[in-house]
Structure 1
Amino acid sequence: MTTPSLRSWLSIPRGSHFSIQNLPFGIISTSSNTNPRPAVAIGDYALHLEAFAAGNGFADLSIIQPHQKVLSQPTLNAFAALGRSIHSVVRKYIQSVFQDDTPFPEILKNNKQLQNEALIPLKDVTMHIPFSIGDYTDFFAGRNHAYNCGVLFRGPQNALQPNYNHLPVGYHGRASSVVVSGTSIRRPNGQILENPAADKETPTFSPSRKLDMELELGAFVCKANKMGEPISISKAEGSLFGVVLMNDWSARDIQAWEYVPLGPFNAKNFGTSISPWVVTMDALEPFRTKGLENETEVLPYLKEKSEKNMYNINLKVELTSEL
């Protein structure tokens, strides 16, 4: 849980996304050290965790000391695999180190040498994909989006399929095409049905003319389960590390022709952009809220105990054109 009243001794610009309440994790490199390594964002800086650990930054946190090698890895996978209980303790400790009234002033607040070694200006870092992604599943989680997308392909009367209110509707995407924000995405080519009302449906091959974007949240799973052994919904939260902003690029005209009957393929797997900083589930705790009531009662295995099973997160999209 985060505390809104927390203040940091480090100067953090007003309105910064990287407040002491947030402290997201990511993977950075610099011109002087090109090896990608874990870091935490705070204000205008990235706390280089490998350098922080090497400078005895975790001297007052014994639980992470046997595992400090995970802070030298090129992705967050090894750190995430330690489990949510350790993520939470590490994040809370780093938060306490940056508090204005920190109980550990000798660690960083009064340690100019370690500040110079471990605090790197964000303007000087290169961001990398935070996790090695073995697989990912994309869900139709937002009702408004599911309806609007369904209207594009089936019209308003059949926009939502009968199963929508009963189970999580999703498909597997192409993990190899997940890239960090800022990576160029090439407009895909594919078959397009120019006249769906024609007696003979004959497609043409061309670049997509209806390239779409989707503002989504992507969640990283940190806890493995054995094949065939499901995780109950009551324990599912313990398997989550954090979330990123995500753009699921979509070629709607290609999708309309190819998705029947097996679902999305080339129209949805040519590129998926994610933000480089991962906001932990602990940082989102203050934003828990009660979601909208489902018009259909779900089966028992999908029922959550807590009414506050949603997050109140305001997202906004801004488009910049060349015109």
Structure 2
Amino acid sequence: MTDFGRATLPYCSFVRPGEERARVGVGVGTDVLDLTAASAARGHVHAGLFAAGSLDPLLAAGPLAWHEVRTFVAASLDAFAEHLSPAAGVELVLPFTVADYVDFYASEHHATNVGRLFRPDGAALTPNWKHLPIGYHGRAGTVVASGTPVRRPSGQTRGHDGTIAFGPTAKLDIEAEIGFVVGAGSTLGEPVPTSSFDDHVFGICVVNDWSARDVQAWEYVPLGPFLGKSFATSVSPWVVPLAALAGARVDPPRQDPEPLAYLQDEDAWGLDLELEVIVNGTVLSRAPYAQMYWTPAQMLAHLTANGAALRPGDLFASGTVSGPEQGQRGSLLELSWNGSHPVLLDDGSSRSFLLDGDRVTIAASARLAGGRRIALGQVDGQVVA
């Protein structure tokens, strides 16, 4: 169970044993604070936002309410002892209703590796990659809570001999990502500039965007990911507010060529985060988010550049987080170089891609100014046949 200390104060939705009704919670150390009960008992002005047990009303309430609630919780922790329970003793559920889901492709290291693997005779990066944050629209209905079993998907593939077949994927993979949870919506037809990022984005979560690489390789030309991605996306049960990450903000890598005006980011929205990829208890990599080429503010600006409206509960993810070193890659596709160099697990077995029964954990942390690290939670999932 993640220990959040008393400063991060991430939000969740949880169910007590023997109950069916969900409650809104806040992570305090290894406990969960019942914010639904605590705010009602204190008669807080925003208590009604937590009555339904979901973060949906809080997300829609906007930045002023986010600040007021966080200030109230931080100032009242010592008075809330009766409303604390061990987080290990409750069921953590999907904390918000996912409205739309978009996945980006923001790591230059990941995009370069995938290009070399999928297009060995062409340029590693497509001509547009350094001009815009590439992304695709996924399925909100298959975004699932951490701990949900992931059934091995089937799809159409093309063999080395050109044979077309349909069946279970042989190349089930993970993608270690950071997700950004939208709170306040926007008006249809009005783009959201990079400078308004924190007016709309409530916080972050940890994402595992499961991928069927053999299905993806056959179907993604010319329109991009489809069945190879849409079967499951797991998210951590904790949503960490942007306010908790103020000390983790850093300058992103230099962008060349200079982005067009609508993508220019005056604020430093790089984040010094690390994602740890664990398969069956073996740490396979530690991926550095600070290396991401495109910032989340640029992703949001591009997502809305055509006037697409934001809604509370929209989720957009960074794409696989990978660094320049072997031990910094956020997918098995890269770690095993598409199966040509299987990775070793602590039990002596090896993996190119996931087998039925494998357990995957992606845990994230942030490094704040001064070097102190804070935990951001983790997302878990097990493959079933």
Query: TM-score, structure 2 length as denominator?
Result: 0.70
The answer to whether structure 1 residue 93 and structure 2 residue 72 are counterparts is yes
Find the aligned partners of 2:6 and 2:184 in 1 and give their Cα distance.
26
Task: Tell me which amino acid in the other structure corresponds to 2:136.
Answer: Y
Find the aligned partners of 1:182 and 1:152 in 2 and give their Cα distance.
31
Name the structure 2 match of 1:62. none
Pairing partner for 2:272 from 301, 304, 312: 312
Is residue 190–residue 208 contact of structure 1 (8 Å, CA) maintained in 2? yes
Name the structure 1 match of 2:352. none
Is residue 30–residue 87 contact of structure 2 (8 Å, CA) maintained in 1? yes
Name the structure 2 match of 1:27. 13
Find the aligned partners of 1:234 and 1:225 in 2 and give their Cα distance.
14
Pairing partner for 1:122 from 87, 97, 100: 87
Structure 2 unaligned blocks of 5 or more: 281-344, 350-385
Name the structure 1 match of 2:175. 214
Larger of the two Rg values belongs to structure: 1
Find the aligned partners of 1:27 and 1:256 in 2 and give their Cα distance.
37
Pairing partner for 2:209 from 248, 257, 260: 248
Pairing partner for 2:29 from 31, 43, 52: 43
The answer to whether structure 1 residue 160 and structure 2 residue 108 are counterparts is no
Query: How do residues 166-315 of structure 1 correspond to structure 2 at under 5 angstroms?
Result: 166-195=131-160, 198=161, 201-306=162-267, 308-315=268-275
- Bigger shift: 32-41 or 269-278? 32-41
Task: Tell me which amino acid in the other structure corresponds to 1:260.
Answer: V
The answer to whether structure 1 residue 18 and structure 2 residue 4 are counterparts is yes
Task: Tell me which amino acid in the other structure corresponds to 1:310.
Answer: G
Task: Tell me which amino acid in the other structure corresponds to 2:35.
Answer: L
Is residue 25–residue 41 contact of structure 1 (8 Å, CA) maintained in 2? yes
Name the structure 1 match of 2:113. 148
The alpha carbon displacement at 1:273 in A equals 0.4
Find the aligned partners of 1:283 and 1:156 in 2 and give their Cα distance.
45
Describe the SS at the equivalent of 2:67: helix
Of Structure 1 and Structure 2, which has the larger fraction of its residues in strand?
A: 2
Task: Tell me which amino acid in the other structure corresponds to 2:42.
Answer: N
Provide Cα deviations, 1:166-195, integer angstroms capped at 9, x if missing partner: 111000001100001111001111111111
Structure 1 unaligned blocks of 5 or more: 1-12, 59-64, 99-104, 109-113
Find the aligned partners of 2:154 and 2:18 in 1 and give their Cα distance.
40
Task: Tell me which amino acid in the other structure corresponds to 1:165.
Answer: K
The alpha carbon displacement at 1:157 in A equals 4.1
The alpha carbon displacement at 1:57 in A equals 6.5
Find the aligned partners of 1:149 and 1:131 in 2 and give their Cα distance.
32
Task: Tell me which amino acid in the other structure corresponds to 1:319.
Answer: V
Task: Tell me which amino acid in the other structure corresponds to 1:30.
Answer: R
Describe the SS at the equivalent of 2:246: helix
The ranges of structure 1 where at least 4 consecutive aligned residues each deviate by more than 3 angstroms after the TM superposition are: none
Name the structure 1 match of 2:51. 72
Is residue 150–residue 156 contact of structure 1 (8 Å, CA) maintained in 2? no
Find the aligned partners of 1:21 and 1:34 in 2 and give their Cα distance.
30
Task: Tell me which amino acid in the other structure corresponds to 2:142.
Answer: S
Find the aligned partners of 1:19 and 1:166 in 2 and give their Cα distance.
40
Instruction: Give me the identity figure in percent.
Output: 39
Find the aligned partners of 2:121 and 2:67 in 1 and give their Cα distance.
45
Indicate the RMSD between aligned Cα atoms, in angstroms. Answer: 1.8
Task: Tell me which amino acid in the other structure corresponds to 1:144.
Answer: H
Pairing partner for 2:63 from 69, 78, 84: 84
Find the aligned partners of 2:157 and 2:265 in 1 and give their Cα distance.
42
Query: TM-score, structure 1 length as denominator?
Result: 0.83
Provide Cα deviations, 1:95-151, integer angstroms capped at 9, x if missing partner: 1223xxxxxx6xx1xxxxx533x1121122101101101211000011111112222
Provide Cα deviations, 1:211-266, integer angstroms capped at 9, x if missing partner: 11000001111111122111112112210011110000000000011111111100
Query: How do residues 48-59 of structure 1 correspond to structure 2 at under 5 angstroms?
Result: 48-56=34-42, 58=44
Structure 1 residues 156 and 146 mapped into 2: Cα distance closer, same or farther (>3 Å)?
A: farther
